[in-house]
Structure 1
Amino acid sequence: MEGEEDQVTKQRLVEARARNISHNVRCTECGSQSIEDSQADIAILLRKLIRDEIKAGKSDKEIYTKLEDDFGETVLYAPKFDMQTAAIWLSPLLVAGAAGGLWAYKKHRQKTNVHIMALNLVRGIPLTPKEKETMLDVLTPPPGGTSSLSWWKRLLQQ
């Protein structure tokens, strides 16, 4: 009786590990499903392969490595992090950071120029038409006479 319970427990552990691994492996035929969810022939074979590898005493890492070696890096949902994937994953952040930096620099330059233009007015130096336009843009309140906190006040009143 005791040996039978151990056998059942061992089988449950194998099944749990196999399901966990199968959820992280992409079906090579379907592409968008894990082999756990897919009913394609290759998915069924891969599930059996994983169970056989677990029963042979292989670790999860060894099984993932074998699958990656046999079917390529795209078979895993979580590709390894190397310089190529880092460039792909981080490029949107770099572009957004550069765009944000340029925007902030332009705003800083515009504010700096406004201060210089205000000093020139105090000194009696006439403004160019472009400087007058910039000063009017900065000093003119937004249309509608609403303050920047008016949306917050409306939200609190509701």
Structure 2
Amino acid sequence: MESEEDAMKKAQMFEARARNISHNVRCTECGSQSIEDSQADVAILLRKLIRDEIRAGKTDKEIYKKLEKDFGETVLYAPRFDLQTAALWLSPFLVAGAAAGIWAYQKHRQKTNVHIMALNLVRGVPLTPKEKQTMLDILTPPPPQRKRWW
């Protein structure tokens, strides 16, 4: 009884491992699906290849390396970090940095515009309603803080 239960657990582990690997491998025919989701002939063959490699006792890393060697780097959904893929990996940080830089520049420019508005006011150039409101917001002192007797 115990060995039958162990065999069932091993089969479930084997299948879960094969499915996990298959979800991380791109179908070479479809391109947009994993081989687990694809019904293309090449996907079926790759799923069989993965199961054969697992039965042969290969680790997940070894299976990924074999697939990458046989089908190229694009077969894996997560490319390696190297000089060629650095732009791909770093692009989210570059975009976030550019957005932060633009935001900081806009804030700086907004403060600088207050000085320009003040100079224009001294020169006699009329302010637009938005500029007037901005000047009032800046020049209006904050409400006094209540002093507490305790």
TM-score, reference length from structure 2:
0.69
Alignment of 1:30 onto 2:22: no
Secondary structure in 2 matching 1:140: helix
Percent identity of paired positions between Structure 1 and Structure 2: 75
Of 82-91 and 107-116, the range deviating more from structure 2: 107-116
Correspondence 1:1-158 to 2 at 5 A: 1-91=1-91, 93-95=93-95, 97-98=97-98, 100-102=100-102, 104-105=104-105, 107-109=107-109, 111-112=111-112, 114-115=114-115, 118=118, 127=123, 132=125, 135-136=127-128, 139-141=131-133
How far apart are 1:94 and its partner, in Å? 2.6
RMSD: 3.0
Of 43-52 and 103-112, the range deviating more from structure 2: 103-112
Distance of 1:10 and 1:26 partners within structure 2: 26
TM-score, reference length from structure 1:
0.66
Question: CA separation of 1:110/1:27 partners in 2, compared to 1, >3 Å: closer, same or farther?
Answer: closer
How far apart are 1:18 and its partner, in Å? 0.5
Q: 1:28-63: CA deviations, max 9, x gaps?
A: 111111111112111111111111111111111111
Q: Give structure 1 regions of 4+ aligned residues with deviation exceeding 4 angstroms.
A: none
How far apart are 1:81 and its partner, in Å? 2.3
Of 95-104 and 30-39, the range deviating more from structure 2: 95-104
What amino acid does structure 1 have at the position aligned with 2:22? Answer: S
Of 97-106 and 28-37, the range deviating more from structure 2: 97-106
Question: CA separation of 1:50/1:101 partners in 2, compared to 1, >3 Å: closer, same or farther?
Answer: same
Aligned length: 134
How far apart are 1:78 and its partner, in Å? 1.4
Flag structure 2 segments of 5+ consecutive residues without an equivalent.
Answer: 135-150
Flag structure 1 segments of 5+ consecutive residues without an equivalent.
Answer: 143-158
Q: 1:64-97: CA deviations, max 9, x gaps?
A: 1111111011111111222332313433643563
